[in-house]
Structure 1
């Protein structure tokens, strides 16, 4: 069946609000940013599809009349847009991304792991109990800033906490660029309090550890049991994994909602810009130090130490920044070394293969 993709290309005509029913691609989050990367001929030959799930045996994609599994091949993650090649699905092209969440892969593997692509707003979820941890929140926020995604801190389980003021204050102290929303995920509050970020055509993601209410929030926005939920353990206020893979769901009006498993390990890599945005106050103080290579220990004219002594910069905040900076530099350098090694190893293999073919040809 031949589809008319002209309506999905950039136009200067009528607005989407005049369309009574949203088109399938609009519901999936298709925007002019992606349309500008292609044309009608390409769309007819390879229609756009969006990755909604990632499995070991491939990518589940959805499009206009398309629901398929793409075998391993495209270097893509959940939220990506592909130009679907029905004859050779593994050769489907990945469109340029608006945003990309990534981290250093867990364990000893020196590689980057893509978490999600083309997200507009990241809801970093934590709860008003022992799960709350400023250092962990800073890691998530640094990833969001690096990906150029709007971050929002959500404080859940407010109904189970006698005094939420301290949690709100601590969350607000992390960055004046990050809104903090206190809510009861099991009530009608999520739909009302998160409405400004949950408009048609947007893609939102819930990030956080297990048991903080991410799946409950997904269900609250849908108004149905879309995602499985579970209770937290009473001994440590932590939850078990109810979401086992990253899944992108869509509401009828075209809001993309990404539910993610709790990430036990969140190592930063290639996130220098995100850290600089999150700790803009510390970075600004660094520029005021007398010496460019100031280690912020006992050097004369250190603006950072002066701010700590004056009480305008918290010592704990500075130490967390220093720890994350060191981790990010180490992981980024480690990834660069692996890429250089892989590149040199590949060249060596090509050289050996070429020499071997040459010897066979002379026989």
Structure 2
């Protein structure tokens, strides 16, 4: 059954696009597109052009195979879930037992939130950037708690050096103008998500973007001695942004293992991956004609940056090797 113009517009507002509609077969025309807004242990909640629904799950459905942000097709008679559509982007990471944890899907922009205090960590930001790049989302670094720093621009300048053409913003999540700062990446049909350590202001930003009248996300303070926060978000959920678009809140990530992120790392460290050495398998240690060693020698490449790249590459390779050997466990962290 063809969608009405109003329903079609509402689907577009939800993030529906030709990428998804092209996947719908002719014999699926009577099924309804549903965007997953929350994933629970035994149920899935979603949003249609007509409003929210609770999906009926077929037997043996594993809800962990679905991510907040997914598009599925459902039979409108009982809202029976029929099929998961291919994802345009997906945030996924390996956790301690080697399993894949889906953090969210079909996200256009990933706001990497950190604060201008002891939470600011260059090595961790590089991990987040690789995570975003591998997922296919646009990363934007958001600096908070600028009032705690003598000069917040020093943090901004340090972050700008981490990836070519990276956008770095400074904002106060508690102020309503924070929504204006982030507006270029929000709007009808756009989905954004926030990642970062606990206590840096992610949930406060979600509240600010969502606007009044919606259930607020819990927020918590930070420990002054180390600027670490308490976990205040325990589940992933999708919220409408006051002036259009959708924002996904996620739990704070304390440890982000690098696994299956080769392309993401190459984009973060493009000044290294873009160099061409004499030998294809150059280790950048002692071989003649090494472009990386030459860049170190002429000062165009920071030795500390190279050292962090090596550690992340080794971690990524170790994780891949462990899976090939059948252990399924990620390698030890390289930092």
Give the TM-score taking structure 2 as reference length: 0.88
Report the CA distance shift for 1:22/1:257 in structure 2 as closer, same or farther (over 3 A).
Answer: farther
Once the 2 structures are TM-superposed, how far is the Cα of residue 120 of structure 1 from its aligned partner?
0.3
Aligned to 2:248: 258
Residue aligned with 2:53, SS: strand
Once the 2 structures are TM-superposed, how far is the Cα of residue 250 of structure 1 from its aligned partner?
1.2
Superposed CA RMSD: 2.4
Once the 2 structures are TM-superposed, how far is the Cα of residue 92 of structure 1 from its aligned partner?
2.6
Question: Is contact 2:163–2:267 with CA below 8 Å preserved after alignment?
Answer: no
The count of corresponding residues between Structure 1 and Structure 2 is 321
Residue aligned with 1:281, SS: helix
* Structure-to-structure mapping, 1:192-203, within 5 angstroms: 192-203=180-191
Once the 2 structures are TM-superposed, how far is the Cα of residue 136 of structure 1 from its aligned partner?
0.7
Question: Is contact 1:128–1:164 with CA below 8 Å preserved after alignment?
Answer: yes
Aligned to 1:47: 32
Once the 2 structures are TM-superposed, how far is the Cα of residue 124 of structure 1 from its aligned partner?
0.5
What is the alpha-carbon distance in structure 1 between the residues aligned to residue 151 and residue 81 of structure 2? 54
* Structure-to-structure mapping, 1:26-37, within 5 angstroms: 26-37=12-23
Aligned to 2:309: 321
**Who wins on radius of gyration, i.e. which is larger?**
1
What is the alpha-carbon distance in structure 1 between the residues aligned to residue 54 and residue 327 of structure 2? 33
Aligned to 2:227: 237
Offset from partner CA, 1:98-126 (integer Å, 9 cap, x none) = 1011111x21x223222111000000110
What is the alpha-carbon distance in structure 2 between the residues aligned to residue 325 and residue 165 of structure 1? 30
Q: Please say if 1:271 is aligned against 2:264.
A: no
Once the 2 structures are TM-superposed, how far is the Cα of residue 24 of structure 1 from its aligned partner?
4.0
Question: Is contact 1:50–1:61 with CA below 8 Å preserved after alignment?
Answer: yes
What is the alpha-carbon distance in structure 1 between the residues aligned to residue 21 and residue 136 of structure 2? 20
Offset from partner CA, 1:307-333 (integer Å, 9 cap, x none) = 112221111111111111111122233
Aligned to 2:116: 128
* Structure 2: runs of 5 or more not aligned: 329-335
* Structure 1: runs of 5 or more not aligned: 8-18, 341-363
- Aligned partner (choices 204, 212, 215) of residue 203 of structure 2: 215
Aligned to 2:62: 73
Question: Is contact 1:49–1:62 with CA below 8 Å preserved after alignment?
Answer: yes
Report the CA distance shift for 1:268/1:43 in structure 2 as closer, same or farther (over 3 A).
Answer: farther
Report the CA distance shift for 1:43/1:156 in structure 2 as closer, same or farther (over 3 A).
Answer: farther
What is the alpha-carbon distance in structure 1 between the residues aligned to residue 116 and residue 152 of structure 2? 7
- Aligned partner (choices 272, 276, 280) of residue 282 of structure 1: 272
What is the alpha-carbon distance in structure 2 between the residues aligned to residue 272 and residue 208 of structure 1? 21
Aligned to 1:99: 89
Report the CA distance shift for 1:294/1:90 in structure 2 as closer, same or farther (over 3 A).
Answer: farther
What is the alpha-carbon distance in structure 2 between the residues aligned to residue 114 and residue 322 of structure 1? 27
Question: Is contact 2:233–2:250 with CA below 8 Å preserved after alignment?
Answer: yes
What is the alpha-carbon distance in structure 2 between the residues aligned to residue 143 and residue 178 of structure 1? 14
Q: Which has the higher helix share?
A: 1
What is the alpha-carbon distance in structure 1 between the residues aligned to residue 327 and residue 82 of structure 2? 25
Report the CA distance shift for 1:180/1:235 in structure 2 as closer, same or farther (over 3 A).
Answer: same
What is the alpha-carbon distance in structure 2 between the residues aligned to residue 67 and residue 89 of structure 1? 8
Q: Please say if 1:304 is aligned against 2:292.
A: yes
Once the 2 structures are TM-superposed, how far is the Cα of residue 240 of structure 1 from its aligned partner?
0.5
